[in-house]
Amino acid sequence: MSDSANARTEHSGADPYGSDLAPHERRLQDLLQASTSIVERLDLEEVLRRIVEAGMRLVGARYGALGVIGPDGGLERFIHVGADRHVVAQIDHPPEGLGVLGAVIADGAPIRLRHLHDDARSVGFPAHHPAMDSFLGVPVRVGADVYGTLYLTESAAGGFSSEDEDLVVALAATAGIAIENARLYDVARTREVWNATIADVMAAMLDITGDDVLDVIAERVAALIDAELVAVAVPHGEDELRLAAVHGAVVPSLNGRVYPATGTLAARALAERQAVSVSGQPTTTMFPWQPGIGPTVAIPLIAGDETHGVLTVSRAADGSPFSAADLDMAFSFAAQASIALEVVRAREDRRRLETARDRARIARDLHDHVIQRLFGAGLALQAVSAVSSPDVTETIESQIDAIDAAIKDIRTIVFALSSGERRGSERIKDRLLDVIADMTSSWEAPPRVTFEGPLDAVVDAELADDLVGALRELLANVTRHAHAHHVDVSVSMADGTARLSVRDDGRGIPEGGRRSGLHNLAERAILHDGRMSILTSPAGTSVEWTAAVPAARDAEEES
């Protein structure tokens, strides 16, 4: 072969097998070495880069790139080698698969040009792109499909030969095998990670209940996948969904929000009972307050005939689409998580039944015995006060008032203990009492609970959800941090304002303790033109959460 062949041989490096090989044999040896460098790796990103580097060495090209074809037929990714990173940073935009680059994709066959700009298909280069003349483009197939295209430019010999083309075509065949191996390895590794996550979720579910289960699912998935937003929505009524768990750096406090299901990706997943995905910005809304998101998958959480909710995972607007392997793994994870969720729910039902029986017995004892005794003692004291001196009468009457207050407290406790019979009620007072019953079942003593004002008449569904969520979070904080002996819960409606107050005699949240829940509550209050205040003293902690209720203010003005 002529000087051009020698130039390519020198570019490829020293010949470890001796200099007595003919130029043709030497180039075949270079091809073997290049192929070996590709197939010995399993990391897909490294394999793709090595394909470009091997092609450049093999034919003496100054620049090389591998364009990965996306679902729309254009270039989804562009791995380039040879250009200085400062030069790359100045280029207006990466190649988009137009002109000659697009012709290689469309034809699925090699294209070799001595002068790129002379070809009628050439559309030029983006601004600040390095000048390129000679060109060789070869499709890379994985199985029967074209995975991408290997582009090589600026031959050291001044132009690429037919022999160069044959060598790169052979290299592309090996590259397709290496890419398939790397993808299979990636799928196996992904499956292993998903299985480990499933085991982790199963273990975590042994010690958690309620919406905490869904929160664990969302948290583990968010840690596993490069996602912008992970959410779990559960059915709420006939045509609505409630966000039971939300994870994502750009997401404000959305837990507990209720929104219409019609037209959403989650509703579609529930209807089809299978994972559904979109590769770009969802054409159907996930929920009204969603941030800007990109590729999204929605996976129903179904066990048998029971639908527990929908897991949605979204990447950033410029994120890569979910692969078929991602969808398979996510669906398998959702199936296992649904079974675990079913087990947790069954365990909770048994616990609730046992608790309901105990509470019913305690409520009967309090009502039939304790209240009657106190009532009798009050009547006896009233009789004594009628024949006593004024000083003694005043003391007796104060004790009668104390007995009346105790009877009122016991009736409130009986009402709370009986809340299990009101499951499913939409009255805000009942929902709040249900939360108190659920959250305080392990406390030494139940909290004192008072209600004032027409809550059920003026509080709308959205505020009711936030009020219930706020009470749940505040009682959870008391359980985690306060170590209190006495807790007072007050819910009132006055002057157009709903007011929730939780006071305890505990030690409050420690310095450096987790406060994200309280921060979220403050944001919820602001959304309702309200506020949240926290007062801590040696005597305990008092948290007040308020929200404006225009309907209540209008009713008060009319009256």
> Which pLDDT score is estimated for 425?
47
B/e letters for 172-195, b = 16+ CB within 10 Å, e = fewer, are bebbbebbebbbeebbeebeeebe
> Which pLDDT score is estimated for 531?
94
> Which pLDDT score is estimated for 253?
62
Across the range 367-395, mean pLDDT stands at: 73
> Which pLDDT score is estimated for 293?
75
pLDDT higher than 50, residue 10: no
> Which pLDDT score is estimated for 273?
83
pLDDT above 90 as % of the chain = 6
pLDDT higher than 60, residue 2: no
Domains 3-185 and 189-336 share a fold: yes
Encoded amino acid at 55, one letter: G
**What would the pLDDT profile of 123-157 be if each residue is shown by its tens digit?**
666 655 676 788 898 999 888 888 888 888 888 88
Pick 126 or 266 by higher pLDDT: 266
Integer CA distances (angstroms), 245 to 31, 194, 213, 220, in order: 54, 20, 9, 12
Q: What is the CATH number of domain 3-185?
A: 3.30.450.40
Across the range 399-410, mean pLDDT stands at: 74
> Which pLDDT score is estimated for 14?
47
Pick 250 or 414 by higher pLDDT: 414
Beta strands across the sheet bearing 296-303: 258-260, 240-247, 229-235, 306-314, 296-303, 276-278
Among 328-342, 380-394, 470-484, which range has the highest average pLDDT?
470-484
Going from N- to C-terminal start, the domains of the chain cover 3-185, 189-336, 424-559
Query: Where does 478-537 have alpha helices with state H?
Result: 516-527
Containing H/E element for 62?
Answer: strand 61-69
What's the pLDDT band for 233 if we cut at 50, 70, 90? confident
Residue 104 · residue 137 · CB < 8 Å: yes
Across the range 517-539, mean pLDDT stands at: 87
Across the range 387-401, mean pLDDT stands at: 74
Which two three-digit tokens encode residue 515?
A: 């406060």
Which two three-digit tokens encode residue 165?
A: 């083309």
Look at the pTM and tell me if it is higher than 0.75: no
CA distance 229 to 98: 33
> Which pLDDT score is estimated for 20?
56
Q: What is the architecture of the domain spanning 424-559?
A: 2-Layer Sandwich (3.30)
Burial of 17 (0-12, 13-18, 19+ CB in 10 A): exposed
How many other CB atoms sit within 10 Å of the CB of residue 428?
24
Which two three-digit tokens encode residue 109?
A: 């066959």
Residue 435 · residue 447 · CB < 8 Å: no
Contacts of 344 (CB under 8 A, 6+ apart): 205, 208, 209, 213
> Which pLDDT score is estimated for 95?
63
CA distance 283 to 294: 10
Pick 421 or 340 by higher pLDDT: 340
Across the range 63-74, mean pLDDT stands at: 78
**Crossing angle of the two packed helices 390-417 and 324-365, in degrees rounded to 10:** 140
Residue 338 · residue 301 · CB < 8 Å: yes
Q: Does the domain at residues 189-336 carry the CATH identifier 3.30.450.40?
A: yes
